Amino acid sequence: MSVSVDDVIRGKYPMLFVSKSWKTAQQDCASLRRTYAYLSQGTRPRKKATQIRDVKRYLRVATLNREGIVVVKQDQPFALSRETTVITRHLLRGILTALHLQLGHPSASQLQKVFGRYFYALDSEKELKEITSACADCAALKQLPRELPEFSTTHQITWRRTNKSRCSTGNAKPCCR
Ligand SMILES: [Zn+2]
């Protein structure tokens, strides 16, 4: 059974990667490990600390959930806010690529919707634009001509012409020559 982008956005399917141990993955990332430490201790980095740009960005939006996972709460109209799991930079590309393939090559904006329903990552939009523009299958689809060739039983490709002036049979209907 295939899963559509809409199904995932509407929450019909639990996320495809929930079984992963997010806490372990987050602890593998130096920036998220520091973010975790600040959040669990209730402290903040010194203003002058310059080497921790990512940590500061995480601290602006993130909290810890009950399992000790760094999450970002997304407010929803007329509903409880939703927790999205913070994904480390080094896992981001792999996850977005897997989602792009698993969901049948959605566009960058569709992929952002799916991703954002469950996850949060720094610079995810930039990354997923790169993934969709670098995808060979998506590029091949874009290059298809407007009028598709028809495959006849003799395996000859004939082009359906809509330009009547080029049709030598003089039929009113566009024909194949
Ligand atoms: Zn693609």
Cα–ligand 1 centroid distance for 42 (angstroms) = 42
Beta-carbon count within 10 A of 128 CB = 27
Evaluate whether 120 touches 61 at the Cβ level (below 8 Å).
yes
Cα–ligand 1 centroid distance for 110 (angstroms) = 12
Cα–ligand 1 centroid distance for 4 (angstroms) = 14
Instruction: Tell me the C-alpha distance between 36 and 31, whole Å.
Output: 9
- Give, in order, the Cα–Cα distances in Å from 167 to each of 31, 116, 160, 170, 172: 66, 52, 10, 6, 9
Q: What is the pTM of this model?
A: 0.70
Evaluate whether 35 touches 70 at the Cβ level (below 8 Å).
yes
Cα–ligand 1 centroid distance for 8 (angstroms) = 17
- Give, in order, the Cα–Cα distances in Å from 166 to each of 16, 86, 99, 158, 172: 52, 59, 45, 14, 12
In tens, the pLDDT along 16-27 reads 455 457 888 899
Cα–ligand 1 centroid distance for 6 (angstroms) = 17
In tens, the pLDDT along 24-80 reads 889 989 999 999 999 999 999 988 777 789 999 999 999 999 889 999 998 878 777
Average pLDDT taken over every residue of the chain = 79
- The residue ranking higher by pLDDT, 109 or 144, is 109
Q: Which pLDDT band holds residue 177 (cuts at 50, 70, 90)?
A: very low
Cα–ligand 1 centroid distance for 13 (angstroms) = 21
Cα–ligand 1 centroid distance for 127 (angstroms) = 14
Write out the residues surrounding ion ligand 1, Cβ under 5 A.
Answer: 105, 135, 137-138
Cα–ligand 1 centroid distance for 65 (angstroms) = 34
Which residue ranges form the domains of the chain, and what is each CATH number? 5-141 (1.10.340.70)
